[in-house]
A and B are shown apart, each in its own frame.
Chain A
Amino acid sequence: MKRKLSVLVGACILGLIAPLTGEEGNGAGSIERPPNAEPKFEGSLKAGDKAPDFTLKDMDGKEVVLSSFRGKPVFLIFGSYT
C-alpha cells in the first residue's frame, strides 16, 4: 500500500496526471476528443482508431492541421527537451 502511494505521488510530481484529467483550456490550438476518452496513462487511443484531429502552431506561428495531411502517413513524435 505504501509503495502504491509512493508511485502515485511520484506520478503526480512527474505531472503525469494533469494532462489526463480532460481539462479544457484556453491555449492556442485545438483538439477533438474521442467519445471513449478515458483518464488513463496509456490513453484510450489504439491502432485502428480515427486519429483525433488537432490544430497546433509551428515554430513560426503557422497553424498545422493533422487532417490536412490525409493521403500521406504522418509520423508523430511526442516529447520535450528535458
Chain B
Amino acid sequence: MYRTYRDRAVFLMIYIKEAHPQDGWQAAKNTKTGVVYNQPKTAEERGKIAHACRTTLQLDIPFVLDTIDNQVDGVYAGFPERIYIVNQEGRIHYKGGIGPEGFKPLEAEASLKELLSEK
C-alpha cells in the first residue's frame, strides 16, 4: 500500500511500546520466531527494537519513535496497533479499531482512496 500511494500521501509508522515484551505478556509465537525483547526503558532501546523490526521485516515505510513515556500513544490510543488517516486539512478522516481485531488495512485503504478521490 505504501508503494502504491506514497506519491500522494505521507505514511508514518509510529513505533510505540511493545505489545508482547518478554518482561510482560510474552506471546508464544514471538518466542518461536525469536522476537524476544523486554519493554524498552530508554529511547535508545526503543530505537534498537524498531530498527530490528524495520530491517527484519524489510519495511521501507518511514518510522518515527514515540517518546519513551508514550505521549503520542497516550493521546491517539494507538496501542497495541491502530491506523489513522489525517486529511489534507489536518483533521482525522479515518480512525481504525484497536488491533489486532480492529486493525483493518483494507478498510483503511478504501478510506484513503475515498479521500484522494475527493481532490
Contact = CB atoms under 8 A, between A and B. Distances in A.
Residue from B51, B66, B81, B116 having most chain A Cβ neighbours under 10 A = B66
B62 A26 contact: no
Interface residues of B, number: 72
Contacts of B85: 73-76
A25 B69 contact: yes
B83 to A, nearest CB: 6
- The binding surface of chain A is classed by DSSP as loop
B24 A15 contact: yes
A59 B93 CA distance: 27
B72 to A, nearest CB: 5
A7 to B, nearest CB: 13
Contacts of B92: 45-51
Interface string A16-35: 10111111111111111110
Contacts of B81: 77-80
Residue from A27, A41, A79 having most chain B Cβ neighbours under 10 A = A79
B110 interface: no
Nearest to A62: B64
B13 to A, nearest CB: 5
Contacts of A67: 90
A40 B73 CA distance: 12
A74 B9 contact: yes
Given A46-B92, A58-B63, A59-B63, A34 B20 contact: no
A73 B88 contact: yes
B14 to A, nearest CB: 5
Contacts of B93: 47, 73
A28 to B, nearest CB: 6
A80 B53 contact: yes
Residue from A15, A71, A77 having most chain B Cβ neighbours under 10 A = A77
Interface of A: 13-16, 18-34, 37, 40-43, 45-54, 56-59, 64, 66-67, 69-82
